[in-house]
Amino acid sequence: MSNAEVCCSPVTERPMSAEEAETAARMFKALGDPVRLRLFSAVASHEGGEACVCDISDVGVSQPTVSHHLKKLKEAGLLTSERRGTWVYYRVEPAVLAAMGRLLVGSSAGALT
Amino acid sequence: MSNAEVCCSPVTERPMSAEEAETAARMFKALGDPVRLRLFSAVASHEGGEACVCDISDVGVSQPTVSHHLKKLKEAGLLTSERRGTWVYYRVEPAVLAAMGRLLVGSSAGALT
DNA sequence: CGTCTATGTTGACGCTTGTCGATTCAGGTG
DNA sequence: CACCTGAATCGACAAGCGTCAACATAGACG
């Protein structure tokens, strides 16, 4: 259900419809908070493309707040989570980065590594 | 002063610092509202890369609200404005799209058209 | 100058959001 | 089982945000 597939043609191609904008804005909004952006970057740059909460929770806010932001990122379709024993691991939804990049630069930014 | 040059290395490269996140989040936040995203797309996709307010103000909200959102986009460094006679024209700051794209996909998405 | 049109600004309103402390849940360990 | 640690949820609060109607400003035109 991740918004990645649905959304969208590049912003420079034609004016976005209300529906497209609604979907895309939800993803941008999720990255529109400094703490969330740091958490997201921490996960995305972590080895293996995934990280335990304990690895990334040092962003200067309380533990409930970290949990809250991770939930938001998950709801936006940017992260997925999985519990393994004591710890919970978050990983980046790969298609999302490509989709958002394509939305901005239009070109073949969809070509992933 | 546009945030484009300052910001940043790709999110997947290393965890963002608090300062980087603050800067980048401001740009994502600006695109995190459906109405603003539609306005931005309308300008970006308009011929010549610029548009008069009168050309794009049909997004379902009142005129003051349109003006308010355009101001926000301007403050975020995504748009610039210029008055020419009766009308005010907005245009996309070109480096910004490339910078945000690079932030997401990491690759050589900076290569513009 | 007076008036008309195109944008911007102000002030107010309700809703959303980021944050925390307290609590709860989940799993491991003794 | 009791206890401890990692993580999520709850409840509350202040701050921020999107929206509008009313008003203000800027330029064109008579």
Average pLDDT over residues B90-97: 92
Q: Is A7 exposed, middle or buried (0-12, 13-18, 19+ CB in 10 A)?
A: buried
Domain membership of residue B10 (yes or no) is no
Residue nearest to nucleotide C4 (CA to C1'): B86
Q: Is residue A29 part of a domain?
A: yes
Q: Which amino acid is at A21?
A: A
User: Residue range A79-88: average pLDDT?
Assistant: 96
Distance CA A22, CA B41 (A): 13
Measured distance CA(A28)–CA(A87) in Å, rounded? 28
**Strand D: residues with CB below 7 A:** A 52-54, 57, 63-64, 66-68, 70-71, 81, 86-88; B 29, 32-33, 35-36, 61-62, 64-65, 68-69, 72, 83, 85-86
- What is the largest distance, in Å, between two alpha-carbon atoms of chain B? 48
Domain holding B39: CATH number? 1.10.10.10
Residue A97 lies inside a defined structural domain of this protein: yes
Domain range for A61 is 18-105
Closest CA to B39 of B48, B31, B27: B31
- Compute the mean pLDDT over every residue in chain A, rounded to the nearest whole number: 90
Q: Is residue A9 part of a domain?
A: no
- CB B45 under 7 Å to nucleic chain C: no
Is A80 inside a domain boundary? yes
Does the pLDDT at position B112 exceed 80?
no
B39-59: average pLDDT: 96
Nearest Cα neighbor of B51 from B78, B89, B14 is B89
Give the separation between CA B2 and CA A110, rounded to whole angstroms. 26
User: What pLDDT sits at residue A6?
Assistant: 62
On whether residue A111 sits in a domain, the answer given is no
CA distance A83 to chain B (A): 22
* Residue nearest D10, CA–C1′ metric: A64
Strand C contacts in A 49-68 (CB under 7 A): 61-65, 68
Q: In this predicted structure, what is the pLDDT of residue A3?
A: 59
Is the separation of the CB atoms in A16 and A24 below 8 Å? yes
| Percent of chain B surpassing pLDDT 70 | 89
Rounded to an integer, what distance in angstroms lies between the CA atom of residue A95 and that of residue A92? 9
Q: How many domains are contained in chain A?
A: 1
Tell me, yes or no, if B94 comes closer than 8 A to chain A by beta carbon. Answer: no
Q: In this model, does residue A1 exceed pLDDT 90?
A: no
| Chain B nearest-CA residue for A48 | B12
> What does the pLDDT look like over A15-53, one tens digit per residue?
999 999 999 999 999 999 999 999 999 999 999 999 999
What pLDDT was estimated at residue A113? 44
- Report residue A17 as tokens: 């419809």
Q: Is residue B28 part of a domain?
A: yes
